[in-house]
Amino acid sequence: MNLQRFHGMSPALATPFTATEALDLDRLDVLIDGYLSCGVHGISVAGSQGEFFALDEAEHIALLERCVEAVDGRVPVVAGCGRSNLTETRRVLAAAEKIGIDMAMLITPYFAQPSQTELAAHFVGLAGETRLPVVLYNNPPRTSVNVAPQTLVSVMDAAQNVVGIKDSAGDMTQSIEYLVSTNRRAMLFSGRDTLTLSMVLSGGHGAVSPACNVFPRLLVRLYGTAVSGDLAEAQRISDLLAPLRAAWVLGSFPVVIKEAMTMAGRSAGPARAPISPLGAEARAKLKSVVEAIMPEEEALAS
């Protein structure tokens, strides 16, 4: 496994839908080409921002296939392979390997709340069914299941192709414990934009970033300045982007990022029902956030 390929900023790609909420694979091609032209280091598909939970199994696999075709080897593709049940997860994981995905991302089970022992067994079992490198996906605000640092240690000890974790928990103490506790140093990817800079400076490998859907050039610059030691500029960009994360309270996940994408000229269409579009007042507030950041994004394109 050449793990050096996996670093930097990858958009947590929003799955595009038409106005009637059909999967829009042609629009996916446009979005991916746009992100690659902005210098992103990878593409992450079928995660939470990608509404994997709203896709049926056939759509999920079709999305992975089209993503690999559109990227065409230019950057690594990390694919969320989790489903609401183990049988479908196994099938999607097998399909991901066959399709040519570069790394599998496995979210914790959700609704069911397994113990840490059960969680470790779940991940070790799935990792044993694929030759792909695997990152775990910890998102307890959405799943109500947290991956304890010692669980990551146990999984990485038992499954050599498990290489790290994407962490959206929002707990920097736990994130650092992931890094320092494992016998093989874990790869760590931020899933929360306001903590991305802190994770990178603590030894993390980058981010699977919702904000990168809207402002890819700024996220790429944030990473570049952080790793090159221009910490003042990295901090300035992180602070500039923070209001976008704060704006998530304006609507139900994941509609805020999708509407911000439209405002930024990168439309991925609506979120699937039951999530509704923003109301007029919320949309106006979000527009002011996007418009305050947009000049900096546009300046990087010149």
Decide if 166 is catalytic.
yes
Q: What is the pLDDT of residue 302?
A: 80
Q: Which domains does the chain have, with CATH numbers?
A: 3-230 (3.20.20.70)
pLDDT for 107-142, tens place per residue? 999 999 999 999 999 999 999 999 999 999 999 999
Residue 73: CB partners within 8 Å, gap ≥ 6? none
Q: What is the pLDDT of residue 187?
A: 97
pLDDT value at 1 more than 70: no
Residue of 137, 178, 223, 258 marked catalytic: 137
Residue of 98, 110, 166, 178 marked catalytic: 166
Contact 79, 101 (CB under 8 A): yes
Contact 83, 74 (CB under 8 A): no
pLDDT above 90 coverage of the chain, percent: 98
Q: What is the pLDDT of residue 4?
A: 86
Q: Is 208 annotated as a binding residue?
A: yes
Decide if 137 is catalytic.
yes
Q: For residues 238 and 46, what is the distance between their CA atoms, to the nearest angstrom? A: 25
Q: Beta strand pairing status for 134-138 and 103-107?
A: parallel
pLDDT for 190-220, tens place per residue? 999 999 999 999 999 999 999 999 999 999 9
Contact 80, 53 (CB under 8 A): no
Where residue 86 falls among pLDDT bands split at 50, 70, 90?
A: very high
